[in-house]
């Protein structure tokens, strides 16, 4: 594999051709430097959950900071019909947009801008695919990880999906997203090194099979890894051979070395039943400090059921159903034009109508506020406003459902916090990125601000994302105008 192939996933041409075709067209029509505003948002929470987790922003930052076009890129685009004047523009390309985003780890909801881009339309258009790639994949996995962690109710969850991920980047950045969502560790060496994620080591079945007996395999492993000794105990028979041989090896190898076992892993069978029996066997043998790991195609529903059945597990290991979000493998973020700025500074709202009502966009460049109850600290609702509005939380505020406007509620004693943070200013990054560990802690804190009814897995309470009266009126008037209601 050549150097150019290795870096292909970081290329400025990792996009769809129509992004360049549109940008080239804007340039040719004299619209290239027109200032446009785009929103990145999603329409549905995976797994029909109550909320999602924002992730992927750091990779967006890295992509935009390194956005440039090689002669090889330009030559290929030339063969695809991109014009010479626009190729000259790309040759000297410098990113110049403003970008705002909701910080990673924040609970997010459908139809609110989670990334906002303002800048020359040729640039704002070209970055669409890369932004969606980063945000969609990592938000999907962070959301799934958070569901697993909540199902585990305080028991650790480790991400073991490297071999099941659908590509190299998906393995690396999926592990990062899972950690942000609340997982305690990864099995992957590269994400552990790259992002500082704790890495969890465990024995695999082939080690046991390589030796003449299970006991010999355990002893050899204990001698090699006395400080990180985890045995997989279900290669042959968990209760009749695996655990007895593990206890024997603990006594014969680890204790004489002055070490204690770390854990045993159960990878098959009736794990709630087996874990209770294994816990009893380990305790009676004098190893109450030896943990029990459980794996075997787990998800949040299986984990929840296992705990309800009294499973004695200290860490759940989750692989393919996390790294692929197998039960709901699509995040569905979209990127839509919402406003255009005239030379005199006037902002012209833009709307995308559709025969599918749920696909009608919210026009205008917007802010996003989250309203928190001052007594409980819980989130009440999110409110979208125009850029010119500022929520005054010293006064009562009336929330109303954007679709069913007679559903109204006046709130007091609240604090309104803006969610969008500026990331780039005229193409320069102005944001200090937190570490994945800091994002993970922040995520846990922010999820705690949601009511339990929003966090439940089945039929979660709908968290409201409301529009300000001014924004609602703009949307209403544009719908009427384009549908011919107003003359």
Q: What is the pLDDT of residues 134-160, one digit of tens each?
A: 999 999 999 999 999 999 999 999 999
φ, ψ dihedrals at 98, nearest 5°: -95, 140
Confidence (pLDDT) at 355: 81
- Contact partners, residue 39, CB within 8 Å, separation at least 6: 113, 115, 116, 335, 336, 338, 361, 362, 366
Q: Which of 439, 442, 429, 438 is nearest to 62 (CA)?
A: 429
User: What is the residue-averaged pLDDT of the chain?
Assistant: 95
Confidence (pLDDT) at 9: 52
Confidence (pLDDT) at 403: 87
Confidence (pLDDT) at 203: 95
Confidence (pLDDT) at 1: 33
Determine the distance from the C-alpha atom of residue 323 to the mean position of all C-alpha atoms in its chain, rounded to a whole number: 11
Strand, coil or helix: 97: coil
Q: Same fold for the domain at 3-141+329-482 and the one at 142-323?
A: no
Give per-10-residue mean pLDDT for the chain (487 aa). 43 92 95 96 97 98 95 96 97 97 98 98 96 97 98 98 92 97 97 97 96 98 97 98 98 98 97 98 98 97 98 97 96 97 92 88 97 97 96 95 91 97 98 98 98 97 95 95 70
Q: Is the pTM of this model over 0.85?
A: yes
Q: Quick one: three-class SS letters along 208-221?
A: HHCCCCHHHHHHHH
Q: Which of 43, 83, 37 is nearest to 342 (CA)?
A: 37
Kind and range of the H or E run holding 101:
strand 98-101
For domain 142-323, give the CATH number: 3.20.20.70
Q: Which of 452, 445, 461, 451 is nearest to 380 (CA)?
A: 451
CATH T-level fold of 3-141+329-482:
nicotinate phosphoribosyltransferase (3.20.140)
Q: Tens digit of pLDDT for each residue in 30-77?
A: 999 999 999 999 999 999 999 999 999 999 999 999 999 999 999 999
Confidence (pLDDT) at 486: 53
Distance CA 485, CA 403 (A): 18
What are the extents of the domains in the chain? 3-141+329-482, 142-323
Confidence (pLDDT) at 10: 65
Instruction: Give the CA radius of gyration of the chain.
Output: 26
Confidence (pLDDT) at 5: 38
φ, ψ dihedrals at 71, nearest 5°: -65, -35
């Amino acid at each position: 594999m050549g150097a150019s192939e290795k870096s292909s996933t970081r290329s400025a041409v990792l996009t769809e051709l129509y992004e360049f075709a549109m940008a080239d067209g804007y340039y040719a029509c004299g619209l290239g430097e027109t200032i446009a505003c785009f929103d990145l948002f999603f329409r549905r929470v995976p797994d029909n959950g109550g909320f999602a987790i924002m992730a992927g922003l750091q990779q967006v930052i890295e992509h935009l900071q390194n956005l440039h076009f090689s002669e090889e890129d330009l030559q290929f685009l030339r063969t695809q019909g991109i014009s010479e004047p626009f190729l000259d523009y790309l040759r000297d390309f410098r990113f110049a947009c403003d970008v705002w985003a909701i910080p990673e780890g924040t609970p997010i909801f459908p139809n609110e801008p989670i990334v906002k881009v303002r800048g020359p339309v040729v640039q704002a258009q070209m970055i669409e695919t890369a932004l969606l790639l980063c945000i969609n994949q990592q938000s999907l996995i962070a959301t799934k990880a958070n569901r697993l962690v909540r199902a585990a109710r305080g028991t650790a969850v480790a991400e073991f999906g490297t071999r099941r991920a659908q590509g190299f980047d998906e393995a690396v950045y999926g592990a990062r997203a899972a950690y942000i969502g609340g997982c305690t560790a990864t099995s992957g060496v590269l994400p552990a090194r790259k992002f500082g994620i704790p890495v969890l080591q465990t024995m695999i079945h082939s080690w046991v099979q390589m030796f003449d007996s299970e006991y010999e395999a355990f002893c050899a492993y204990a001698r090699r890894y006395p400080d990180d000794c985890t045995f997989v105990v279900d290669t042959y028979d968990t209760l009749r051979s695996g655990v007895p041989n593990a206890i024997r090896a603990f006594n014969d190898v680890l204790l004489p070395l002055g070490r204690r076992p770390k854990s045993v892993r159960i990878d098959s069978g009736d794990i709630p039943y087996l874990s209770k029996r294994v816990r009893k066997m380990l305790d009676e043998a004098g190893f109450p400090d030896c943990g029990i790991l459980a794996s075997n195609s787990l998800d949040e529903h299986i984990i929840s059921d296992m705990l309800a059945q009294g499973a004695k597990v200290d860490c759940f290991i989750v692989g393919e159903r996390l790294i692929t979000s197998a039960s709901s493998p699509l995040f569905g973020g979209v990127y839509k034009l919402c406003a255009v700025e005239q030379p005199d500074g006037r902002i012209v709202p833009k709307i995308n109508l559709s025969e599918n009502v749920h696909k009608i966009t919210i026009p205008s460049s917007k802010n996003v506020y989250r309203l928190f109850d001052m007594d409980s600290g819980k989130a009440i609702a999110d409110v979208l406003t125009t850029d010119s509005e500022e929520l005054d939380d010293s006064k009562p505020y009336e929330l109303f459902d954007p679709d069913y406007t007679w559903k109204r509620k006046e709130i007091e004693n609240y604090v309104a916090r803006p969610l969008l943070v500026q990331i780039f200013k005229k193409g320069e990054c102005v944001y200090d990125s937190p570490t994945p560990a800091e994002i993970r802690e922040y995520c846990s804190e922010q999820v705690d601000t949601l009511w339990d009814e929003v966090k439940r897995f089945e039929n979660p309470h709908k968290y409201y994302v409301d529009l300000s009266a001014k924004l609602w009126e703009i949307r209403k008037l544009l719908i009427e105008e384009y549908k011919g209601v107003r003359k």
